[in-house]
Every structure is written in C-alpha cells, then in structure tokens.
Structure 1
Amino acid sequence: MACLQEGQFYQHLGTPTGIRVETTPTDTLHKILRDAELLDRSLLAPWQKIDATHTFLIPRISFTLRDSAVAKVPLNKADSAIRVLVQKWLYLPQRACTDIVYVPHRQGGANVPRLGDLCDVACITHAFRLLTCPDVSARTIAENALRGVVRRRIARDPTAADIATYLSGSLEGDFRRDGGDLSSLWSRARNATRRLGKRIGCRWVWSEARTELSVMLPRITAQGYTTVTPAARALLERLLKGTIRRHYTDALAKRPDQGKVFEVTSKQEASNHFLRAGNFTCFADWRFIHRARLNCVPLNGAIRHGTRDTRCRRCGYPLETLPHVLCGCTTHSEAWRRRHNAIQNRLVKALPPALGAVTVDSPIPGTNSRLRPDIVVTDEQAKTILLIDVTVPFENRMTAFRVAREKKLSKYSQLADNLQSRGYSVAVHALLVGALGAWDPENDAVLEACEVGPCYTGLMRRLMVSDAIRWSRDIYTEHITGHCQYNI
C-alpha cells in the first residue's frame, strides 16, 4: 500500500480517498458524462438511449454517491448535461417542463432521476443505516459521533428528541445557534433532510414509546405519512425515491398548461407503454407525442410572444390549438372517422362469438330510433343486448373524460329503456381512448363486459393507444403541411 501525505489521495471505488482531500469524484463524473455523449452519438433508438442511461449510467453515479461527499456544483452540472440529453432524445423544446425527465415510465416520463436527489437519498439512507446498524459496536460509535455534533451545535447535552430535530434540519430555538459545525456525514444528512423536507415533507422523529429513531415521509399511493422504523431500514431508500418521483409527477400534473394531458395519461400504465421499448411506435410518432402531450407543438394559437395571427390556418377558427386540430377542425373529419374506426375494429375482432351476434354502426331492428351505436352485441336466446360506443376525446384533464363518458351514456339511455320494455337486459358502455393515447381506467369494465381474454386485454390496450397516437400524428402533420397522410 502506498504511504500518502496529507492532501494526497488514491481512487477507491471511483472516489478520491485520503486525509483532508476533496472527495467529489470529478474524474468519475467526467467519465460518465463522456459515456453519455457517446451514447448520444450512437445509432440506438431514442428510447434505447434513455434505457441505457437508466440501466448503465445512473447506477454508476448512485454507487459513487454512496461513498462520497459530493459538492453540489459539479453534481448540478452533470445533472444538467444528462437532462439536456434526455430532453433531446424526447424531442422536447427548451420551454418544455423538465419534470417529465424525472417521472417514471409508467406515468409518462423518462425515468431518469435527478442526481441531486440521488445524493440526498444516499446521504440520509447511509446515516439511518449507521444509527440502526444491528452491530452494537458500529451503532454505538455512530450514536456517540452524532451526539457530539449535536452537542457542539446547541451547546448542551442533547436528548434523543434533540437529535431527531437536528437531523430534520431545524433552525428554530437552540438550533439557530452557529456551533461552528465541521462537515461530516451528520451535517450532510441534516442538510439533505432539510432540502428534501421542503419538497416532500420528510423528517426524523423520535418515539418515546418505542425508544427508537425513525424517518417519517408521505405515503406514495395514499394520504398520510409512513414511518420507517429500524426494523424496516431496508425500505427507506426505495420509499424516499418513490416519494420524490411522486413529487415530480404531482408537480407536472398541476401545471395549468403542460399538465393537462399529463394528468390523464399518467393514470394508466397502458397510456405510456411505448416509453420503455418503443413498442408499436414508429420514430415519427415518438418525435410527435412527447411535444404534443406537453403542448409544445408549434401552432398559431400556442405562440407565447408577439401579435401573430392565432386563427386556424385551415378553417379560420379564432384559436389554432392542438385540441382544435385533433378534435375540432372539421377539415380532418375523415381522419377522425378512420382514427375512431381503427380503435373500434380492435374491439370488434376481440369479441368472442359466444357473446352473441355483432353489428357495427347500424340501427337496432325493431326500434324507431335513428341512433347507430358503434357496436351492438345481441343474444336473442338469453335476451341480452350490449351497446358499446367508442369516442376519442382530447385529454383536457380527467373532467373531459368524465363529461365524454356521461354524454355517451346519456345519449343511449332512452334507447336502452325502450329495449328493456321489450324484455331485453341491456348494458350500455362507452370506450374512451384519448386523442394523444390516454387509456381511461374505466375502460377495463367495458372489456370485462365484452369477455375479452385477460391475455389479449393487455395487448389490445397498447394497440388502441398506439392507433390513437399514430392517427393523431397524421392529422397534425396534414394540418401543418397540407399533404394527406393516408390513402383516400
């Protein structure tokens, strides 16, 4: 082993290690960023580049952060460089919200975590594991070191509650005092908790009843808080990361402009099935869908500056926006019909013959109604009729989907009453797939009523979502260029 002087160091697992040396793994970060640039110049598909970043580069950074006291400046620069590359692979403009980079795949994001968050999570987790270590000697050394740091801060012997308050980053009362703290694991854990506490509300707590130190953080899937006790120490890192991801998801959904579509598409994993591997998605669809969902496509009504004419370039409507182009400009009515029929035909082909006789877009014989339900399944022997209507609304938050479904059910309520008076058992359903590929969670009840097999159900969801995206991209392209994108 080499004998090192003060200030000298050697690379241990990617981290500079020595006496009084800067432990920021600058060389390791540079190598990772160089690999990211090589990945960007490769011939991989954009979704493959994102997957490679998450699979190979992020774990290298996470591993390094576990053993290093990383300065924020180089880490923020590395995070900015990776974020710019991911936005490039998503074909997003500069004004697009960056939260989409940190959101999981199943909710419509790139699933690439923020490096600063990884650093804070690693620091809090490491401190908690030391203080709850099953080995008594290691735990005692950690507790004594922490107690000495807190004593220096508040100028008195700390209680267990004082230690929890210190680690939570409090600046009230005795903790406002500048005790001349030296940088240590405990001061870094305190700062990390204070940073995350402002965003996700995590904090350290001391339980007098159980006489143990725990970490409290909001629940991921419900309201309220979860307390991570020493017995559940292995879960802390996963729960912290999940809570941070939920923070970015909620923040993006609350945005008044770019969060409208995201609020709907983030509800079901099927709406974002193509993000992981690009299944059933061509490159043109990939380049369109991310910008469209964040309302970043160049249209007259989306111009942020100047006094440019905002009228629709095809029909003269006062405001040319993406909802108008995909669901309102009657110039594209034929494409709307084909988009609707593409989704409808997927369901028709999946209906089992034993369910009954199937008619498509036809009036029901024996009634005087002019309504033509998209799909009617009739079983004369069992005296049952299943009415299904397909619609493709724009994802203007969940309210738009609820209104569209209620409108369809109300439209056929009188017809259903007429059929029931003739002795039939009638069920009316509406199948909703958003113009930008949002799968309505209530559609699962429709597929269950249609007795679609569980194996094909998952595949059909993904195919319908991809059909909607493909046709919407064709409609948008035709609107901009004036060239028809399909065979008439």
Structure 2
Amino acid sequence: MTSLEEGEVYQHLGTPTGVRVRQTPEDTIVEILRYAAQTDSSLLAPWQKINALNTFLIPRISFVLRGSSVAKVHLNKADSTIRQLVRKWLDLPQRASTDIFYNCHRQGGANVPRMGDLCDVAVITHTFRLLTCPDPTVRSIVEEAIRDVVRKCTSRAPSEQDIDTYLSGFLEAEFGRKGGDLSSLWSRTCNASRRLGKRISCRWKWCKEHQELGILVRCIKTLEHTIVTPTARTLLERTLKDAIRCHYAEKLKRKPDQDKVFQVSSKWDASNHFLSGGKFTRFADWWFIHRARLNCIPLNGAICHGNRDKRCRKCGYAKETLPHVLCGCKHHSGVWCHRHNAIQNRLVKAIPPSLGKITINSAIPGTDSQLRPNIIVTNAEKKRVLMVDITVPFENRSPAFHEARAWKVLTYTPLANTLRAQGYKVQIHAVVVGALSAWDPHNEPVLRTCGVGRRYARLMRQLMVSDTIRWSRDIYTEHITGHHQYQVE
C-alpha cells in the first residue's frame, strides 16, 4: 500500500480517493459522455441507442456514485447532455415535457434516470447498508460515528429518534444548527433524504417494536407508505427508483396539455411494448408516436402563439387538432375502416372454431334489425351468441374509453334483447384500442371470452397496438402532405 500525504490521491475503482481531495471522477464522466456521443453518431436505431445508454453507460455512472462524493455541477452537465440526446432520439421538440425521459418503458417513457436522483439514491442506499451491516464490528463503528455527528448537532446525547430525524434531513429546532463540520457521508445523506422527501416522501424511521432502523417510502398511486427494513436491505435501491419513476409518471399525468394520452397508455404495458426493442414498429411510426402522445404535432389548432388560422385544412372544421385528424375528419373515413379492420382481423384469426360459427359485419338472420356487429360467434347447439365490436377512440383520458365501450353495449342491447326472446344467451363486448395505441385493460375479459390463449394474447396485443400506430401515422401524414401513404390488397 502506498503512503499518501494530504491532498494526494489514487484511483480506486475509477474514483479519486484520499484525504481532503475532490472525489468527483471528472475523467470518468467525460469518458461516459464521449461514449454517449459516439452512440448518437452510430447507425443504431433510436430505440437501440436508448437501450445502449441504459445498459452500458448509466450503470457506470451509478457505480461511480456509490463510492464517491460527486459534485452536482458535473452531474447536472452530464444530465443536460444526456437529456438532449434522448430528446433527439425520441424526436421531441423543446416544449415537450422531460418527465417522459424518466418514466419506465411500461409507462411510456425512455427509462433514463436523472443523474441527481441516481446520486441521492446511491447515497441513501450506501448509508442504510452501513447502518444495517450484518458484521457487528462494522455496524458498531458506523453507529458510533453517526451518534457523534448527531451529538454535535443537538449538543446532547442523541436518542434513536434523533438519529432518524437527523438522517431524514429535518432542519427545525436544534437540527438546523450548523456545526461547522466538513462534508461527510452523513451530511450528504441528510441532503439526499430532504430532496427525495419532497418528491416521494421518503424518510428514516426507528421502529420501537423491532428495535431497528428502516426507511419509509410512499407509493404515489396508493399514497400509502411501505417500510424497508434491515432484512430487506437489498430491495431499498429498487424501491426508491420505482418510487421516483412513479413520481415522474404522476407528474406527467398532471400536465394540462400533454397528459391526456399518458393517463390511458400507462395502464397496460402492451401500449408501450415497442419502446424497449422497437418490435413491429417502423421508423416512421417511432418518429410520430412520441410527438403525438405529447400533443407536439404541428397542426393548425395545436399552435398557441400568433393569429394563425386554426381551421382544418381538409374539411374546414373550426379547430384542427390531432383528435380531429385521427378520429373526426371525414376526409379520412376510409382509412379509419382500414385501421379498424386491422384490429378486427387479428381477433377473428385468434378465435377458435370450437367456439361457434364466426361471421363478420353481417346482420343476424331471424331478426329485423339492420345492425351489423363486427364479429358474431354463434353456437346453435348451445343457443349462445357472442357479439364483439371494435372501436378506436382518441385517448382523451380514461372517460373517453368508458364512454366508447358503454356506447357500443347500448347500441347492440336492442338486438341482444331480440335474440334473448328467442331463447339465446347473448353477450355483448367491445374491444377498445386508442388511436395512439393505448390498450384498454377492460379488453382482457373480452379476450378470455373469445377463447384467445394467454400466450398468443400477449403477441396479439402488441400486433394490434403496432397496427394502430401505423395507420394513425399514415392518416396524419396524408392529412399534412396530401400524399397517399398505404396500399390495400
């Protein structure tokens, strides 16, 4: 071992280590950003670039943060650079919300963590592992060190509650004093806990019943706290990261202009299956879907500044918005049928013949009704009729899906009553897929009723979602350019 003087350093696992030295591994951060720039200039697909960033570069930063005290200035610069790259790979304008970058793939985001959050999670996790270390010698040394710090802060012998109050970043009363100590792991833990506490309401908590120190983390969706105990110490990092991702997801859903689609598309992972690997997705679809979901499409009615004419360029409707173009402009009604039939045909192929005779878009013999359900499965022997209709509404939050489904059921109820009077057992269902690929969770009972196997149902959802994105993109592009975008056999 080399004897070091004060101010001298040696590189330990990529981190400058020594007494009274700056531990910020600037060279490592610069190298990571250089690799990110090379990834950007490579021939990889945009989803592959995001995957490479999350797989190879972000873990290197996370590893460095675990063993060093990194200045936030350098992290903020790295975060700004990475954020601009991800914005480029998603083809989003500057006004698009950055919360989408920090959401996980299942909720429609790029799953790229924020550097400041990574640093705070690393500090809290490292401190918790030291305080709950299974080795009694290490644990006693750490406990004595934290007690000495709290004693200097409060000017009295600290209790267990004083320790968890200090670690939670509480700044009231005697905990707000500045003792003049140098920056240490404990002061960094206080700052990290205070910052994360404002976002996810996490705090340290001493349990009298079990005589152990834990960390309370609030679940954003249920608003209930879960406690990470020493026996579950390995789960702390994942729990904090999940809570942070939920925080950004809920923050995005509260946006007044860019939240409508994400309130629906985040409910089922099939709606965002293409984000991790680009499966069944064209490049043109990738460049379209992210802007469309954040309402950053340059349509006449979506531009807020200036006195521009907001009328639809095709039909003259008062306001040309994306919901109008994809689901309201009669000029594209023929393409709506193709989008509708793409979903319908996937389901028809998946229904087993043993369920009954399948007819498509036909009136039911023996009735006077002119209604033509999209899919009719008739079992004459068991006197059963299953009617399934497909609808593609725009994702104007969850009520839009509920209303679309209820309207379909209400439309075919008179026909169902006629069949019930003839002794048939009738079921009416609707399959709802948003125009921007949001999969309605209420479709799942419909798939089970139609006899679709669980294994194939997963693939079928992804195919339906990708088909919807493809047709919606073609509708939008044809609306803007006037050029035909598809061929139908």
Q: Residues 444-463 of structure 1: matches in 2 within 5 Å?
A: 444-463=444-463
Counterpart residue number, 1:127: 127
- Aligned to 1:348, the other structure's residue is in SS state helix
What residue identity is the alignment partner of 1:437?
S
Counterpart residue number, 2:319: 319
- C-alpha displacement of 1:21: 0.5
Counterpart residue number, 2:15: 15
Q: Distance in 2 between matches of 1:414 and 1:190?
A: 65
Counterpart residue number, 1:475: 475
- C-alpha displacement of 1:297: 0.8
Q: Distance in 1 between matches of 2:25 and 2:242?
A: 26
Structure 2: gaps spanning 5 or more residues:
none
Counterpart residue number, 1:148: 148
The question of whether the paired residues in 2 share the 8 Å contact of 1:220 and 1:242 is answered with: no
Q: Residues 362-401 of structure 1: matches in 2 within 5 Å?
A: 362-401=362-401
The question of whether the paired residues in 2 share the 8 Å contact of 1:218 and 1:226 is answered with: yes
Counterpart residue number, 1:169: 169
Q: Distance in 2 between matches of 1:302 and 1:8?
A: 58
Counterpart residue number, 2:111: 111
- C-alpha displacement of 1:466: 0.5
The question of whether the paired residues in 2 share the 8 Å contact of 1:152 and 1:181 is answered with: no
Q: Percent identity?
A: 65
TM-score normalised by the chain length of structure 1: 0.98
Structure 1: gaps spanning 5 or more residues:
none
* Residues 1:158 and 2:143 are matched in the alignment: no
- C-alpha displacement of 1:207: 1.7
- CA deviation vs aligned residue, 1:382-410 (integer Å, no higher than 9, x gap): 10000000000000101100010011111
The question of whether the paired residues in 1 share the 8 Å contact of 2:300 and 2:321 is answered with: yes
Question: How many residue pairs get matched?
Answer: 488
The question of whether the paired residues in 2 share the 8 Å contact of 1:107 and 1:272 is answered with: yes
Counterpart residue number, 1:485: 485
Q: Distance in 2 between matches of 1:454 and 1:224?
A: 32
Counterpart residue number, 2:304: 304
Q: Distance in 2 between matches of 1:8 and 1:92?
A: 45
Identify the range of structure 1 (218-227 vs 371-380) with the bigger mean alpha-carbon deviation. 218-227
- C-alpha displacement of 1:210: 1.8
Q: Distance in 2 between matches of 1:10 and 1:182?
A: 21
CA RMSD of aligned residues (A): 1.0
- Aligned to 1:39, the other structure's residue is in SS state helix
- CA deviation vs aligned residue, 1:176-208 (integer Å, no higher than 9, x gap): 222223211011011000000001000011122
The question of whether the paired residues in 1 share the 8 Å contact of 2:401 and 2:432 is answered with: yes
Q: Distance in 2 between matches of 1:181 and 1:196?
A: 23
What residue identity is the alignment partner of 1:21?
V
* Residues 1:292 and 2:307 are matched in the alignment: no
What residue identity is the alignment partner of 1:67?
G
- CA deviation vs aligned residue, 1:189-241 (integer Å, no higher than 9, x gap): 11000000001000011122222211111136644110111111111111111
- CA deviation vs aligned residue, 1:275-314 (integer Å, no higher than 9, x gap): 1110000100000001101111111111121111111111
Identify the range of structure 1 (205-214 vs 118-127) with the bigger mean alpha-carbon deviation. 205-214
- Aligned to 2:441, the other structure's residue is in SS state coil
Q: Distance in 2 between matches of 1:44 and 1:221?
A: 36
Structure 1 runs of 4+ off > 4 angstroms?
Answer: none
Q: Distance in 1 between matches of 2:229 and 2:257?
A: 40
Q: Residues 20-419 of structure 1: matches in 2 within 5 Å?
A: 20-219=20-219, 222-419=222-419
- Aligned to 1:204, the other structure's residue is in SS state strand
Q: Distance in 1 between matches of 2:320 and 2:391?
A: 22
Q: Distance in 2 between matches of 1:85 and 1:289?
A: 18
The question of whether the paired residues in 2 share the 8 Å contact of 1:152 and 1:180 is answered with: no
Q: Distance in 1 between matches of 2:64 and 2:177?
A: 33
Q: Distance in 2 between matches of 1:372 and 1:208?
A: 67
TM-score normalised by the chain length of structure 2: 0.98
